Amino acid sequence: MSLVLQILSYALVVTLAAASPGPDFAVVTRYAALSGRPAGVASAAGVATGMAINTTLAIAGVGALVAASERLYLIVKLAGAAYLIYLAIRILLSLRQRGEGDQPLEALAPLDRKGIWQAYRHGLFANFLNPKVVVFLVTLMPQFLPDQPTLTEQIIFGAVSVVAVMNWFSIVAITVGTFRRAFTRRKFRNILNGITGAALLVVAARLALS
């Protein structure tokens, strides 16, 4: 198989993995639905940045160290679970806030620099603090790389990981953000916040207990 076909195959596998339900998808979907496409794309960029950091760690060998060290893996895993629980609680607490008509909830990030940064930061940590991402990269990437890959080839495949993730979640953010009008009513906002908060708690529990 040529290098180009290997890269395309790898990009497809990474995209399919990104499309599976998880904290990244929950965070991007919520921001896109409740704060619009700019916030959704910002959170997608945060997820891609987290993937870039994890990919760099995998190439540098740190990922293999995390995967091999039970104690280190446990520390990273519990840190990631704790962050997801914190994020879920914040989202669920927003259900208690009162609002009238179609006014946005106070807890939602406004579309200013602070709100965009918050969306980006939540996307970044949702990906970066998930040790399964590093383990995924450590186990997957060598299957597509040549037997004795050069640093350049590893960097190329690492960049493909980031681009694939950014493309997928940008599509999700833009698509969901297009239907943002449906979530301007408080009832729908509360439903989405409830589902997102519950989903993050489930993911956090699975991460901590895995």
- Tell me the CA distances in angstroms from 28 to 42, 47, 80, 185, 197, one per residue in order: 8, 8, 17, 20, 13
Q: What is the pLDDT of residue 106?
A: 39
Look at 207 and 122; give whichever has higher pLDDT: 122
Residue 39 reports pLDDT greater than 80: yes
- Percentage above 90 pLDDT, the chain: 22
φ/ψ bin of 130: left (φ > 0), alpha (ψ from -120 to 50), beta (otherwise): beta
Averaged pLDDT, 98-123: 65
Q: How far apart are CA 182 and CA 14, in angstroms?
A: 31
Look at 106 and 88; give whichever has higher pLDDT: 88
Query: What is the number of other CB atoms lying within 10 angstroms of the CB of residue 96?
Result: 7
The pLDDT confidence band at residue 104, using thresholds 50, 70 and 90, is very low
Q: What is the pLDDT of residue 207?
A: 65
Q: What is the pLDDT of residue 164?
A: 95
- Which pTM was predicted? 0.75
Q: How far apart are CA 142 and CA 69, in angstroms?
A: 19
Angle at 104 between CA 124 and CA 45, to 5 degrees: 20
Q: What is the DSSP letter of 1?
A: -
Look at 56 and 71; give whichever has higher pLDDT: 56
Q: Which two tokens stand for residue 66?
A: 């995390």
Look at 47 and 190; give whichever has higher pLDDT: 47
The residues, ordered by sequence, that sit 6+ positions from 178 with a Cβ below 8 Å of its Cβ are: 37
Q: Which two tokens stand for residue 140?
A: 């997957």
For the chain, give the mean pLDDT.
Answer: 80
pLDDT digits (tens, 9 = 90+) for 131-183: 778 878 887 888 888 778 888 988 999 999 999 999 999 999 999 888 777 66
φ/ψ bin of 76: left (φ > 0), alpha (ψ from -120 to 50), beta (otherwise): alpha
The pLDDT confidence band at residue 185, using thresholds 50, 70 and 90, is low
CA 61 to chain CA mean position, Å: 22
Provide the Cα torsion 78, 84, 89, 91; round to 10°: 180
